[in-house]
Chain A
Amino acid sequence: MTREERALADAAMTDDEFRTEVRQWIAANYMLERNLLERPKFSVTKPWYVKLNERGWLAPAWPIEYGGSALPIMKQIIIVEEQERFGTCRLNDMGITMVGPLLIAFGTPEQKAALLPGILNGDIAWCQGYSEPGSGSDLASLRSEAVPHEEGWRINGQKIWTTRANDANWMFALLRTEKSGVKQDGISMFVFPMDTPGITVTPIVDLNGGTELCHTFLDDVLAGPDALIGEVNKGWTISRTLLGFERLYVGSPKQSAHAIARLHDLISFLHLWNDNVVVDTYVQLLFDLDDHIDLYESMIDEVARTGVYPTTISLLKISQSELYQRVTDQLVEIGGAFGGLVEPIPETGGLSPANQFLFARPVTIYGGTSEIQRNILARRTLGLPG
């Protein structure tokens, strides 16, 4: 079967048939470690990335002509859900969910031909150059700049929180191309290889001892004219157009469900099932998880039915991330003296309350803090004055 024939066959299945197909295929083909909390390096995950692409399920949303499968949103969700269910590792999928769709919508034919195949076959691993030391929640104030020169663009500035910049070979970045006027209207989208001279990456040690986050310094980086994606000064606008599926997926209950399963393990390990206060706390969190799952699924249903992402979709990120934190708060509290251990609690087979707790910290910060999400919902959904 060609890719196209297989995509059409996938599209023709009922959702239930498709789910069974995905479930069986993952079980038969997944070759890496299951249920990893952290994301492995791209080189480790690449065999799975390539395997998914061969089956047409790496970029299920992309049009067939660009190597995708053009599956309806419910089937895209099923692919995600079944991977979560099986516990496949997290991939660096920014090329699939962010850069690829940007190129497909706004790239030139040459840019598409140069980059899309590399995204699909795993030759390109991306990092995102958005935040800067002075531009976090107020991202549009960013100052790293791209100035035209005779052979393209000269880039100077500093990016921060570039996740896995030390594991990526390309960056997509928002850069200032106009200093006067409305700050959002002077930003453009660029892509360039990380081995371009002038780029220096320095890892940042996080609260959990991890080094996924990086400083990326851009000093007289020379990029060609084709580094610009879309029109100049339209970077802010085009970066906002593709956030639908991401905002749905970010509400996946996976993190919270995983943490609640660990809380269950902890209560069992500490023999606390006879403690009514602990049980009440646990049931409250379990109720909250199930309520969240119902909200998540109701929004999936709505998106699948209407094809439109409701403005209330940002509630999902707040709901999921804050629930995840409430669960990990209890992991540390109920864990008592074990709550601060760097290594897992001895003789528990890897149960680590502190690791979960610290892992949950950035979730309410990245991708728009909970506070920024609330600002947006208050203005856009509730119509409250700015």
Chain B
Amino acid sequence: MTEVHDREDTVRMLRDSLAFLAKEGRMAAVRAARHTRSGFDSGEWGAIASLGLLSIFVPEERGGSGLGVTEAAAVAEELGKGLAPQALVNAIVAAPLLPDDILENVLSGDRVALPAWQEDPVDPLKLEAQVDEDAVTGVKSYIPYARVATDFLVLTTDGFVAVPADGVGVSLTCDKLHDGGHLGRLTLDRAAGQRLKGDANLFANAIMLCNAGYLLGVSQRAFEITQAYIQTREQFGRPIGSFQALQHRAVDMMLEIELLRAGLDRAVRIFGDPSSDAPVVSRIMARAATTAMSVTRKAVQMHGGIGFTDEADIGLYLRKAMVVANSMGTPKWHRQRFAKLADLPNNRLAS
């Protein structure tokens, strides 16, 4: 009981520490930072690092908080609400795998280490990058906010390797994304690095689950903005939120969000068993992606014409959902992964 209460207190404190992401003017800052070099407000990363949030997964004996996915997913949810760069979530999951010298600078905010793990736009687990005597060769094409990384945590067929971004044989090209960030394509040609210990499956499932938390935050705040808007916007002499068509749509959005929240709450409680994590994580990720897209789409529709303008905040949420939701396995991919794992013909209720 005490442990549960401590946990709830910790989660509440972590959430409170990110209250500044909900401040007046926040969305103006997010909007202004789009398509700059980093894609986000330059002070933001350091501010969040200084709160100790990058060390959630790092064990206490290595100077971290020694917390788990429950806390990380809650932090990710707050980051999503405030449209903070999603790369923060990825950096949080990557941190415990880093060697001491890099980790120290990452936790202080002086360096940024981002995971470079995906090679395929649809199948996030497809893996061909090779490591040969601490030199990595391969192409990692889907790294959000890659330009801010000083180090990459590269996943190869033979484990993780830390590779400095300015090393020999390392090249990076970036493409703009609709959330104002960018997608990095990292080419490694016998790039020197430091081999690291770490479980690739645990990593992949943790990063997916935490990003489901981020998408919950995106969906939740997009819904709140819409709920407020339809109570103030008037047409036909009444608030449009008094019309049944919009009321029913709003309830559908609430249901989608509550299903995601309940599923995620359960998933983070049972997470950590590599033999059973994948089916649950795939279910939650499929729900998160579908919900974020559905809720933000409906939110724009309920705003009417203003929802299609760049000046309305709601469009920032739609474009964030577009960028993040399908980036770590589409819902179809997650259902296929589940089907393969579940031996469906012989498993009546597999999950």
Residues of A within 8 A of B (CB): 257, 260-261, 264, 268, 273, 276, 279-280, 282-284, 286-287, 290-292, 294-295, 297-298, 312, 315, 318-319, 371, 373-375, 377-379, 381-386
Contact A384 B247 (CB under 8 A): yes
Stretch at the interface among B34-42, B117-125, B164-172, B342-350: B342-350
Q: Which residues of A contact B298 (CB under 8 A)?
A: none
Q: A264, A290, A292, A374: which contacts B348 (Cβ < 8 A)?
A: A264
Tell whether A280 pairs with B259 under 8 Å between CB atoms, given A287-B286, A298-B265.
Answer: no
Tell whether A298 pairs with B344 under 8 Å between CB atoms, given A284-B335, A319-B255.
Answer: no
Q: Which residues of A contact B10 (CB under 8 A)?
A: none
Stretch at the interface among B48-56, B137-145, B237-245: B237-245
CA distance A319 to B262 in the complex (A): 13
Q: A291, A298, A377, A383: which contacts B283 (Cβ < 8 A)?
A: A291
Q: Does B287 contact A (CB under 8 A)?
A: yes
CA distance A57 to B266 in the complex (A): 29
Residues of B within 8 A of A (CB): 227, 230-231, 238-239, 241-242, 244, 246-248, 250-252, 254-255, 258-263, 265-266, 283, 286-287, 332, 335-336, 338-339, 342, 344-345, 348-351
CA distance A298 to B265 in the complex (A): 9
8 more A-B residue pairs beyond the given contacts A282-B344, A287-B283, A295-B262, with a C-beta to C-beta distance below 8 A: A261-B349, A284-B335, A287-B351, A290-B351, A295-B258, A315-B258, A382-B227, A384-B246
Contact B259 A295 (CB under 8 A): yes
CA distance A283 to B343 in the complex (A): 12
Tell whether A385 pairs with B258 under 8 Å between CB atoms, given A273-B344, A279-B339.
Answer: no
Main secondary structure of the interface of A (DSSP, over half): helix
CA distance A157 to B194 in the complex (A): 85
Contact B259 A283 (CB under 8 A): no
CB closest chain-A residue, reference B248: A374
Q: Report the 6 A-B pairs with minimum CB-CB distance, sorted nearest first.
A: A378-B247, A295-B262, A294-B262, A298-B262, A385-B242, A283-B335
CB B347 to nearest CB in A, in angstroms, measures 9
Q: Which residues of B contact A260 (CB under 8 A)?
A: 349
CB A195 to nearest CB in B, in angstroms, measures 43
CB A241 to nearest CB in B, in angstroms, measures 24
Contact A378 B283 (CB under 8 A): no
Tell whether A294 pairs with B338 under 8 Å between CB atoms, given A312-B254, A375-B247.
Answer: no
CB B86 to nearest CB in A, in angstroms, measures 23
Q: A292, A312, A381, A383: which contacts B231 (Cβ < 8 A)?
A: A383
CB closest chain-A residue, reference B287: A291
Q: B262, B336, B342, B345: which contacts A291 (Cβ < 8 A)?
A: B262
Contact B262 A384 (CB under 8 A): no
CA distance A257 to B332 in the complex (A): 22
Q: Which residues of A contact B247 (CB under 8 A)?
A: 374-375, 378-379, 382, 384
CA distance A374 to B338 in the complex (A): 32
Tell whether A385 pairs with B241 under 8 Å between CB atoms, given A318-B251, A377-B254.
Answer: yes
Q: A264, A298, A382: which contacts B266 (Cβ < 8 A)?
A: A298
CA distance A273 to B347 in the complex (A): 12
Contact A294 B239 (CB under 8 A): no
CA distance A261 to B351 in the complex (A): 12
Q: A279, A315, A386: which contacts B255 (Cβ < 8 A)?
A: A315
Contact B335 A294 (CB under 8 A): no
CB B267 to nearest CB in A, in angstroms, measures 8
Q: Which residues of A contact B261 (CB under 8 A)?
A: 298
CA distance A260 to B351 in the complex (A): 12
Contact A280 B332 (CB under 8 A): yes
CA distance A386 to B246 in the complex (A): 12
Contact B287 A287 (CB under 8 A): yes
Q: Which residues of A contact B258 (CB under 8 A)?
A: 295, 312, 315
Contact B283 A290 (CB under 8 A): yes
CA distance A42 to B230 in the complex (A): 49
With most chain B CB atoms within 10 A of its CB, the pick from A273, A371, A385, A386 is A385
CA distance A290 to B260 in the complex (A): 11
Contact B254 A382 (CB under 8 A): yes
CA distance A377 to B247 in the complex (A): 9
27 contacts between A and B (CB under 8 A): A257-B349, A264-B344, A268-B345, A273-B345, A280-B335, A280-B336, A282-B344, A283-B339, A287-B335, A287-B351, A290-B283, A291-B259, A291-B263, A295-B259, A295-B262, A295-B263, A297-B262, A298-B261, A312-B254, A319-B259, A371-B244, A375-B247, A381-B254, A383-B231, A384-B239, A384-B242, A384-B247
CB closest chain-B residue, reference A287: B283
Contact A287 B250 (CB under 8 A): no
Q: Which residues of B contact A386 (CB under 8 A)?
A: 242
CA distance A315 to B71 in the complex (A): 27
Contact B251 A377 (CB under 8 A): yes
Q: Which residues of B contact A282 (CB under 8 A)?
A: 344
Q: Which residues of A contact B238 (CB under 8 A)?
A: 385
With most chain A CB atoms within 10 A of its CB, the pick from B242, B247, B350, B351 is B247
CB closest chain-A residue, reference B267: A294
CB A194 to nearest CB in B, in angstroms, measures 38
CB B24 to nearest CB in A, in angstroms, measures 22
CA distance A257 to B351 in the complex (A): 12
Contact B338 A283 (CB under 8 A): yes
Q: Which residues of B contact A318 (CB under 8 A)?
A: 251, 255
CB A363 to nearest CB in B, in angstroms, measures 16
CA distance A383 to B242 in the complex (A): 10
CB closest chain-A residue, reference B282: A287
CA distance A375 to B248 in the complex (A): 7
CB A150 to nearest CB in B, in angstroms, measures 47
CA distance A374 to B252 in the complex (A): 8
Contact B230 A384 (CB under 8 A): yes
CB B56 to nearest CB in A, in angstroms, measures 23
Contact A279 B259 (CB under 8 A): no
Q: A284, A286, A290, A378: which contacts B250 (Cβ < 8 A)?
A: A378
With most chain A CB atoms within 10 A of its CB, the pick from B239, B251, B266 is B251
CA distance A37 to B336 in the complex (A): 32
CA distance A273 to B340 in the complex (A): 11
Contact A286 B351 (CB under 8 A): yes
